[in-house]
Amino acid sequence: METIDELKLILSPEKIKERVEELGQQITSDYKGKDMVVIGILKGAFIFMADLVRHIDLPLKMDFVRLQSYGSSTESSGQITITKDVELSLKDKHVLIVEDIIDTGYTLKYLKEMLKLHDTASVSLCCLIDKKERRKVNIEAEYVGFEIERGFLVGYGLDYDEQYRQLPGIYHLSPRYEAKGFVPSDR
């Protein structure tokens, strides 16, 4: 596998593209005839969401939210705040939340419950990466790109300290890099 600096490629751009197209086709089939709103979680999901909606062959509206659970720390505080809320009306809409990665699940469980308060018809979840072994709360995505067990991932929207989002593949930070203590212990 290709290595760039301290990064090891684990999902190629081609593999990601193929899976995103499949997810788009599945979502198109499942949401046919429904009034749909796709909500991306900033910043990590913006690349995945942009590619995904191009493969959903239905009328839809898009919006974004931004949540914070880390503050200035590298570990989740457990307290989640919305720093950018939805601007569209979600009443009676079928909402699809798009996220880059589900790890502990705290943030997505919170967001899903908050969006239900908007009198939505339904709220579902689509994530690019699912790390089930790190889950702390009961939440499952209806649409999953890839399940990956270990390692801190960057690229295709995923970042470490606002770096690496622009990489076209998904990379694992090398153990040498992680050993230096640069990797957050919780995402």
125-172 pLDDT per residue, tens: 999 999 988 888 999 999 999 999 888 899 999 998 889 999 999 999
Tell me how many degrees the CA angle 159-140-10 measures, rounded to the nearest 5: 40
CA 8 – CA 184 distance, rounded (Å): 18
181 pLDDT higher than 60: no
pLDDT at site 175: 60
- The token pair at 68 is 């914070």
CATH tag, 14-149: 3.40.50.2020
Nearest to 127 by CA among 100, 159, 108: 100
- pLDDT digits over 87-118, tens only? 999 999 999 999 999 988 998 999 999 999 99
pLDDT confidence of residue 70 = 54
Summarised one tens digit per residue, pLDDT across range 25-81 is: 999 999 999 999 999 999 999 999 999 999 999 999 999 999 887 544 444 556 788
pLDDT single digits (tens) 8-18: 999 999 999 99
Give yes or no for a contact between 142 and 175, defined as CB atoms under 8 angstroms apart.
no
The whole model's pTM is what?
0.86
Instruction: Please check the confidence at residue 174 and state whether its pLDDT lies above 70.
Output: yes
Active-site residues, by number, are 103
* The predicted structure's pLDDT at residue 151: 85
pLDDT score of 179? 43
Q: How many helices (H) and strands (E) does the chain have?
A: 4, 10
Give the start-to-end residue ranges of the domains of the chain. Answer: 14-149
Measured torsion, CA atoms of residues 114, 117, 121, 126, in degrees rounded to the nearest 10 = 0
